[in-house]
Amino acid sequence: MSVLVFVEIKNKLSKAAKEVITYGTNLGEVNVVTYGNASNEVLSEMGDYGAKNILVYRKINEPNDQVVSKLMLKAVDKLNAEFILLSQDQTGKSIGPRVAAKLEAGHVSGAISLPEVSDDFTVKTNVYSGKAIAYVCVHTDKKVISILPNSIQPVENKVDVSISEFEEDLGNGRIKTVDLKPLGDGIPLPEAELVVSAGRGLKGPENWGIVEDLANSLGATTACSRPVADIGWRPHHEHVGQTGVAIRPNLYIAAGISGAIQHLAGVNGSKVIVVINTDPEAPFFKAADYGVVGDAFEVLPKLTAAINNFKASQR
């Protein structure tokens, strides 16, 4: 059965890319389609995770949704791919539905498990913003599956790779990118394994230093509750929850956040949750693995110091 994985390479191979390739190796021999001018060294790294054939499209000027989905469709045709896999990241959300609609293929977006294949082909995905899980059965021969970041652990599985260049007429598409404003060098929230988040309990934007210190010593990404983003203490892209970014890191540390149902919806897929709150009755403690009843202004610096000691002892 032919598996086609779409990977987008900015500078290096992302964790999301490794996850999707690993997912693919469970379904068959993995072919990858990508575009741009990544070095052969970066392309070959995909072989460490089990990708056998890499098709790379070099001459792309404007990798917009129309062009990239055309690229995928050409690759699907060429390989007669049955499984079409991509990451449910921002790119995946713009490309996956286009490709699925064109192929009239069933599309599971945000898969959190490998498929169960008996008589049917069923994949689990989060619904109700993480408050529940749905088993989605795909009825078509071709299947487009996008995998939620941080759901599958990348597995090293080195194979020989062959890299070939791919040329097709992809047209132009109409969207033109005129600028890209980076959000900083940190790991983007949806991909982050460690997240430090804070809420209204921090009292004002000037107090975020202690949150950032902890994040820096852990190598974590920062997040916040909705009111904190709404009143402009923190940027919108840090807002997690039902109406913000949904995340599932290994560790979520929440300081001064009450744990409203809408907040929990976006974070309760986290493997381990640590809650720091002055109020022992805060609802968040019900969803926590570890709780600290205390003042964030005292606890956060102490936790940062403890992390720093721990890191020093590991060296």
Ligand X SMILES: Cc1cc2nc3c(=O)[nH]c(=O)nc-3n(C[C@H](O)[C@H](O)[C@H](O)COP(=O)(O)OP(=O)(O)OC[C@H]3O[C@@H](n4cnc5c(N)ncnc54)[C@H](O)[C@@H]3O)c2cc1C
Segment 205 to 234, residues that bind another protein, using CB under 8 A: 218, 229
Which residues 179-218 are close enough to bind ligand X by CB under 6 A?
A: 199-201
Interaction of residue 239 with another protein, rule CB under 8 A: yes
Q: Which is nearer to ligand X, 96 or 130 (CB)?
A: 130
Q: Which is nearer to ligand X, 121 or 233 (CB)?
A: 233
Smallest distance from another protein to CB 231, Å: 13
Distance CA(311)–CA(293), nearest Å, equals 25
Q: Which of 6, 1, 49 is nearest to 28 (CA)?
A: 1
Interaction of residue 274 with another protein, rule CB under 8 A: yes
Are β-strands 121-127 and 116-117 bridged in parallel, bridged antiparallel, or unpaired? antiparallel
Residues in CB range of 59: below 8 A, 6 or more apart: 167
Interaction of residue 266 with ligand X, rule CB under 6 A: yes
Q: Which does 277 bind (CB under 5 to 8 A by kind): ligand X, another protein, none?
A: ligand X
Q: Which does 251 bind (CB under 5 to 8 A by kind): another protein, ligand X, none?
A: another protein
Q: Which is nearer to ligand X, 257 or 303 (CB)?
A: 257
Helix (H) or strand (E) holding 85: strand 83-87
Smallest distance from ligand X to CB 305, Å: 17
Q: Which of 125, 122, 131 is nearest to 109 (CA)?
A: 125
Give the number of residues written for the chain: 315
Smallest distance from another protein to CB 159, Å: 27
Distance CA(315)–CA(8), nearest Å, equals 34
Helix (H) or strand (E) holding 211: helix 209-218
Amino acid letter, residue 95:
I
Q: Find the binder of ligand X among 110, 241, 249, 269 (CB under 6 A).
A: 241
Q: Find the binder of another protein among 155, 283, 287, 297 (CB under 8 A).
A: 287
Smallest distance from ligand X to CB 237, Å: 13
Check: CB of residue 6 under 8 Å from CB of residue 84: yes
Interaction of residue 226 with ligand X, rule CB under 6 A: yes
Give CA torsion, residues 208, 189, 214, 253, to 10 deg: 100
The token duo for 169 is 């007429």
Distance CA(266)–CA(147), nearest Å, equals 17
How many alpha carbons fall within 13 Å on the CB side of residue 73? 20
Interaction of residue 85 with ligand X, rule CB under 6 A: no
Smallest distance from ligand X to CB 228, Å: 6
Q: Find the binder of ligand X among 2, 297, 307, 308 (CB under 6 A).
A: 297
Interaction of residue 236 with another protein, rule CB under 8 A: yes
Phi/psi-derived region of residue 171, left when phi > 0, alpha when psi is between -120 and 50, beta in every other case? left
Interaction of residue 243 with ligand X, rule CB under 6 A: yes
Contact pattern for another protein over residues 114 through 143, marking x by CB under 8 A:
------x-x-xxxxxxxxxxxxxxxxx---
The size of the interface with another protein (CB under 8 A), counted in residues, is 103
